[in-house]
Amino acid sequence: MKAKQKKEKEKVANWKEFWKLLKSVRMPWIWILVAFLCNMAYSEVNLFLPTTTAGLLSGNLDPQVLIDAIWFYVAYTIVLCADTALRCPAQHFAARNARRTLWKRMLNIRMDYYFENNPSNLMSTVTNDASEAMKQLVQYIVGIIPAIYYVVRALSTVSSYNILLMLALLLLLPVKVAYMIFIGRCRFRTQNGLYQRIGGLTAYLAERVRNLSLIKTYTSEDQELKNGEEVTRELFQANMRVTKLECGISALSTLIGLLQTMIVMVFGVLLLNQGMITMQEWVAFFMYSATISTNFDTLISYWTDLKTIQGTLARAAHLNVAPVEEEGESKALPQGKDIVFDHVSFSYGDKKALDDVSFTIPAGSATAIVGLCGSGKTTSISLIERFYEPDSGQVRIGGVPVSDVMPKELRKRFGYAQQGADIFSGTVREALTYGIHRTVSDQEILDAAKQSGFYDTLQAWEDGLDTVVAANGSSLSGGQRQRLVLTREFLRNGEILLLDEPTSALDAVAAKSVQDTIYRLFEGKTKVIVTHDLSMMEQADQIVVLSGGAVAGCGTYEELNQTCPLFQELVATQKQGEEAAVC
């Protein structure tokens, strides 16, 4: 009983998410309206096709009848072409708007959603799911009312010949409705499963392409080929399930159509033999029966299409209701104030990351956060930026809880550089000005580059600021990437600089150079540095040592070297040149 209730609740939730997504997508209603009117015109013209053709087939060769027939077929062709020409742009506009809506949602969703859902898996939601579903949806909106209109008008015309003819057409209607409900449920499941597999393949390929050098280093091509074949096999099986269902639908539809034709022919011939209808009415009725049956099937398919659309958009609909970051009025954040962690606890799901952590980062100072892998160092920075919200406790800046400051306003105060130095593909100029929401002149960029030590690198490139950077900055050395990012942060001029392992991917010479640049370039600014680099620790004004998500020590380098056993162990490991146990 509980399982059944749960299933019913899931169905209701699926429909709610589905309708909410459709409301949030800005549909191209003008295009849809014009396409709808054209479809109505097509249905109206189509109503005269059986009677016009029946007149010719019954032997009426009057010149006026021939002229009317020619004009009718010309109008029929024009309306049919116009219907296609208008419906296709409407579908493309709808798909574009859906992609825009979903991409905006993905940009504003809270980071903890991506902790539970692979972002790469969601890529196909924007690229594939939205496009296919919107095309079907526009077809649904444009076609359903004209189809109903045609069926009602055609049945009215047929009933004017003989009421028994209309009843013959409606005889199999209950069978078709039952078939519609059953097929609709099956289509939802198969389409949802298919697009889940498409997302899985997209995620797999995106991750492997980003790490091709790792695959080649470990000569894992054969293993990855096998893994890829497994993922593609799952997609193949999902496609086959859809194909089998469509084959079953086609066979069942054909069978019902044949039964319908037999019933129509038997009724028509009986009435014709008894003189209850004329030959012209019989021909018109036979042609109407085909078009009415087609439109009946179209109406039935609209239900199954709606379930197909719902299945296709299931992931997109779920994404559309994911929690987003707050927007609205924001408390003012004072400048030049301390950052305080006050009894902060945080977990990634069931995994505890920080447990009742309290410490203060003095304004204008350099505070290093050190500790073993998984001790909560990077999590601390993420909480300052409100990528995540604490389970308990507060992070405050100048006495103001960061939870009272809107994320976008809060992050304007920060500069950020991390291990690997994230850079998008494009020109060096675009990379240097990314995230700076003002006009930056080339001279300003060059002046900043001189300050950061990036100027000589720029001068060495023939195209200078127009040099093209590969994805993730892979065409640059580690030192060049870090200097580029530091130049960008200098231009951005954030009040607080957050550095996550800024020298970990660099050799000793480059690391020392980048370290000196950080302390010189951002002198007087608050610097929060996650590091295992001994020389960066020595230059820090304060060091916070984390162990298992708790504070194991806090003080200067000299103080901790005397009072904190864990810190002493970390320093000893560094000095001995052993492989670091710290991340």
Write down the pLDDT at residue 54: 63
For residue 456, the surrounding DSSP H or E stretch is: helix 455-460
> What is the band of 582 on the pLDDT scale with cuts at 50, 70, 90?
very low
- Look at residue 143 and tell me if it is in a domain: yes
- Reading the block at residue 338, the tokens are 């301390």
Q: Which of 57 and 549 is assigned the larger pLDDT?
A: 549
Q: Which of 70 and 557 is assigned the larger pLDDT?
A: 557
User: Distance between alpha carbon 170 and the CA centroid of its chain, in Å?
Assistant: 44
CB 494 within 8 A of CB 433: no
Provide DSSP, 305-347: HHHHHHHHTHHHHHHHTS-B---S--PPPPSS--EEEEEEEEE
Cα Dmax for the chain:
114
Q: HEC string of 124-170?
A: HHHHHHHHHHHHHHHHHHHHHHHHHHHHHHHHHHHHHHCHHHHHHHH
Of residues 381, 387, 388, 380, the one with CA closest to residue 355 = 380
Write down the pLDDT at residue 575: 72
**Amino acid code (one letter) for 138:** V
Separation between Cα atoms, residue 76 and residue 73, nearest integer Å: 5
| Mean predicted lDDT score pLDDT of the chain | 80
Separation between Cα atoms, residue 146 and residue 139, nearest integer Å: 11
Q: Of 91-105, 171-185, 240-254, which one has max mean pLDDT?
A: 91-105
pLDDT (mean) for 367-389 = 89
Separation between Cα atoms, residue 350 and residue 346, nearest integer Å: 10
- Look at residue 150 and tell me if it is in a domain: yes
Domain ranges, residue 267: 24-320
Lowest mean pLDDT among 145-159, 488-502, 529-543: 145-159
Count the domains in the chain.
1
- Look at residue 386 and tell me if it is in a domain: no
pLDDT tens digits for range 291-329: 777 777 777 777 777 777 777 777 788 888 888 887 767
- Reading the block at residue 285, the tokens are 């009725």
pLDDT tens digits for range 130-154: 778 888 888 888 888 888 888 888 7
Residue 494 sits at φ, ψ, to 5 deg, of -70, 150
439 CB neighbour count, 10 Å cutoff: 7
Q: Are strands 542-547 and 366-371 parallel, antiparallel or unpaired?
A: parallel
- Look at residue 214 and tell me if it is in a domain: yes
Write down the pLDDT at residue 545: 92
Does residue 542 have a pLDDT over 90?
A: yes
pLDDT (mean) for 496-508 = 80
Separation between Cα atoms, residue 95 and residue 309, nearest integer Å: 13
Q: Which of 365 and 257 is assigned the larger pLDDT?
A: 365
CB 510 within 8 A of CB 518: no
Radius of gyration of the chain (CA): 34
- Look at residue 406 and tell me if it is in a domain: no
- Look at residue 579 and tell me if it is in a domain: no
CB 415 within 8 A of CB 494: yes
Write down the pLDDT at residue 56: 61
- Look at residue 373 and tell me if it is in a domain: no
- Look at residue 182 and tell me if it is in a domain: yes
Does residue 362 have a pLDDT over 70?
A: yes
Write down the pLDDT at residue 12: 52
- Tell me the Ramachandran region of residue 371: left when phi exceeds 0, alpha when psi lies from -120 to 50, beta otherwise: left
Does residue 571 have a pLDDT over 60?
A: yes
Say what the alpha-carbon torsion angle 109, 110, 113, 119 is, to the nearest 10 degrees. 50
Does residue 250 have a pLDDT over 70?
A: yes
Separation between Cα atoms, residue 195 and residue 313, nearest integer Å: 9
CATH number of 33's domain? 1.20.1560.10
pLDDT (mean) for 239-254 = 81
Q: Across the strands, what pairs with 418? A: 500
> What is the band of 420 on the pLDDT scale with cuts at 50, 70, 90?
low
**Amino acid code (one letter) for 532:** H
Q: Which of 352 and 176 is assigned the larger pLDDT?
A: 352
Tell me what percent of the residues of the chain surpass a pLDDT of 70. Answer: 91
Does residue 5 have a pLDDT over 60?
A: no
Residue 214 sits at φ, ψ, to 5 deg, of -65, -45
Of residues 141, 182, 147, 80, the one with CA closest to residue 296 = 147
